[in-house]
Amino acid sequence: MQNSTRRSGEKFRVLIVDDSASVRQALSDILSSDPELEVMATASDPYVAAERIRREIPDVIFLDIEMPRMDGLTFLRKIMAQRPLPVVICSSLTEEGSSTLMEAMEAGAVDVVTKPRIGSVEFLQHSRMRICDTAKAAAHARLKPRATQPLRVEAKFTADAIIPQGWARTRADHYSASDMIVCIGASTGGTEALRDILRALPAECPPIVIVQHMPEKFTAAFARRLDGICAVSVKEAQSGDAAIPGRVLIAPGNRHMLLQRAGSRVSVTIKDGPAVCRHRPSVDVLFRSAAQSLGPQALGMLLTGMGDDGAQGLLEMREAGSFTIAQDEESSIVFGMPREAIRRGAAVKVLPLSRMAQVIMQTRNHTVDAVKAS
């Protein structure tokens, strides 16, 4: 259901639930610095938060995991069972705690951000944009019924910061559908969407490379979780990993991922650099590398998410001869990224999430032309 009734121009109301007073204050300062956000209340534990929600429904909840009296995961499950609301998990991300965070995403959390470190001015400045953007994306999440409000996109770096414009390629002169490499980009709502797609694929699927916006240390747990429930092999990508049938490579958090060809071998390169379209990893970076290295040998899919990361890259893929798809509005948690790709003419097809796995396999079975024509 819709989390609240919101008038035009009204700020998104945020409830912060964390047992640390210093973290509550830091998050309040960060979120209040954005003119579109308002911290309506803070709570030291889920019991205090529940009482506050009874009086006023927030647009977004920022929720810690480890808290006294009731842990955040239990509280999240109660929220989703009684009155679904957009919840962002705010946690100190560690390898040990990442499995719990995966449980939170599967329980219905729409995103996860790294808890601000008190006293780290550089970290706070770097994370402010991520935290505020995540809050606004969560506020737009469609939890039944689905929202249709257009999303605002601010100025940012483009893929030029990582890959210069140009069309110097080393790809082969001839292509086979069986060699198609699938490139997928997603943001808010993407963890659930990717799980649905990958679980529907057989072990011998085309090579797949994915950029999902999420913090570092979380992507490894996400890949392990998918690997455990899917027939395909899923791993967090490392430089030099080959894009081969049956393998899914997920870009590591806080680093960009590019595709590169050397003869008939296609592999990924993991690269540092500035945030592109406000994200690192960036979908635009992956998609531009696919356009330049693969052209018609690539299939591009842009899924749910806020903003426009991936829209320009998908357009470059289409112009290079790739088959390109945007997720439709009805099946998107947040329609910002697909909407922008469609607006720019980047998508050959606009399809529901339920069709994505089928299209991926049609590229391997030489029947993708039928999808283009339909």
CB-based contact 141:330 (threshold 8 Å) = no
**Residue 145, Cβ density class (10 Å: 0-12 exposed, 13-18 middle, ≥19 buried):** exposed
| Distance between CA atoms of residues 77 and 107, nearest Å | 6
Residues annotated catalytic, as ranges: 187, 213, 309
Counting DSSP H helices and E strands in the chain, the numbers are: 12, 14
Angle at 75 between CA 72 and CA 77, to 5 degrees: 110
**Between β-strands 60-63 and 87-91, what pairing exists: parallel, antiparallel or unpaired?**
parallel
CB-based contact 131:116 (threshold 8 Å) = yes
CB-based contact 137:305 (threshold 8 Å) = yes
CB-based contact 295:321 (threshold 8 Å) = yes
Of how many residues is the chain composed?
Answer: 374
| Distance between CA atoms of residues 323 and 364, nearest Å | 13
Nearest to 339 by CA among 59, 193, 148: 148
Q: How many CA atoms lie within 13 A of 167 on its CB side?
A: 6
CB-based contact 317:197 (threshold 8 Å) = no
Instruction: Please give the helix or strand (H or E) that residue 248 lies within, else none.
Output: strand 247-250
**Between β-strands 265-271 and 256-262, what pairing exists: parallel, antiparallel or unpaired?**
antiparallel
* Gyration radius (Cα) of the chain, Å: 20
